[in-house]
A and B are shown apart, each in its own frame.
Chain A
Amino acid sequence: MSWAAVLTLGIGTYLLRLVGIVLRDRMTVPERVERYLDLAATALLVALVATATLTEGGGFAGWARPAGVLVGALAAWRRVPFVLVVVLAAATTAGLRMLGVP
C-alpha cells in the first residue's frame, strides 16, 4: 500500500462522484430521460441488494444472510419502523449463525 494507491483510488472515486453531478447540471433533462435516470438508480440499488444478499466472493453467501434480509424485507413491507427493520435483519442472521447455520 502506498500514498500513490490511496490517492489514485480516492481522487478517482471523487471524480466519478462529481462527474454525474456536473453532467446533471450542464443539461436540461427531458422528462423521458429523467424517468430513465431515476430507473437507473433503482436498477443499480436493487442489483446491489441482490448481490449483497445472496453472494460472497463470487459464490453463494449461505442461508443466514438471505434469511435475515427476508425478515427485514417483510418487516419493511409491513411498515415496521426503519430502525427495527435493520435490527430484525441483523438479529435474525446473527441468531441463525449462533445456531450453526452458515
Chain B
Amino acid sequence: MRSLTRTLHADDLRDALALAAAIAVVGASFGALAGTAGVPFVLMIALSVVVFAGASQFLVVAVVAAGGNVFAAVAAGLLMNARHVPFGLAIGDTIADRWPARLLGAHLLIDESVAFSRARGSGPRGRAAYWTCGILLFVFWNAGAIVGRLAGSAIPDPAAFGVDAAFPAALLAMLLPALRRADARRVGLAAAVVALAATPFLPAGVPVIVGLLGLLAARTAREAS
C-alpha cells in the first residue's frame, strides 16, 4: 500500500473521486429501489458488498420487485458479468504481483476501474489508478446504497441529475487514448454497431459481450496492411 500512495497522482485521485461521487448517487437509487422491492436490509447490504456490479444488482432487484423468478435473474446477472473474464485477461498483471493482493484486487474489477487503469498504462501509475478507483468506487457505492435505503423514497430519481449520461461520457473520456490507434477505432466502431444492433433482441448485458465480434475488424485491418 505504501507503493500505492507513492505512485498515486493527485490528478488521478481527483478523477476517481469524480466517478465515486457519481456512483454514490446511483448507489443511493439502488438502495431506495431495494427498499421499495422489499429486500431485507442485511440482504441488500450483502448484495451490494458481495456482488459489487451495479447493473446486475439492479437487474436482480427489479425482477424481485416485479415478482419474477429470482434465479433466472441471477443467471442473467452472471451472463451480464461475463465481460469481466476478458477484462481480467487484459489487465490481470496490472492488478498486483502477489496472490493475496490479486485475490482482493479481483473483487474491484469493474468497468470503471478497468477503463481508468488502462488509460494510465500497465506500469505503476496504472496499478495505483486501478486500486484507487476500485477502492473509492467500492466505498462510495456501498455507502450510497445504505444512505439510499435509509432515505427511501425521499431519494430523487438519479436521472434528474443526468448521472446516466455521466458514466458513458466518463468511460468514453478514458477510452480516448486507446482510440488514437486506427485498429482500436475500427474494432470499437464495429463493436458499437454490433452491440446496438443486438440490443432489441437480447437480454440486458448480453449485447455488450456480443460486441466482442468487433474484433473481426482487427483481423481484416491486419490482413489489409
Contact A82 B207 (CB under 8 A): no
Contact B170 A86 (CB under 8 A): yes
Contact A76 B173 (CB under 8 A): yes
Among B60, B74, B169, B188, the one with the most A-chain Cβ atoms within 10 Å of its Cβ is B169
Among B40, B85, B207, the one with the most A-chain Cβ atoms within 10 Å of its Cβ is B85
| B interface SS class | helix
Chain A contacts for B71, CB-based, 8 A: 5, 8
Chain A contacts for B173, CB-based, 8 A: 72-73, 75-76, 82, 85-86
Q: Give the residue of B107, B172, B200 whose beta carbon is less than 8 angstroms from that of A17.
A: B107
How many residues from A make CB contacts under 8 Å with B?
74
Contact B172 A49 (CB under 8 A): yes
Within 8 A of B (CB), among A36-60: 36-55, 57-59
Contact B51 A44 (CB under 8 A): no
List B residues at the A interface (Cβ < 8 Å). Answer: 14-15, 18-19, 22, 37-40, 43, 46-47, 50-53, 56, 60-61, 64, 70-71, 73-74, 77-78, 81-93, 95, 102-103, 105-107, 109, 111, 114-115, 118, 159-176, 178-179, 183-184, 187-192, 194-196, 199-200, 204, 207-212, 214-215, 218
List A residues at the B interface (Cβ < 8 Å). Answer: 1-3, 5-14, 16-25, 35-55, 57-59, 61, 64-69, 71-73, 75-77, 82-83, 85-95, 97
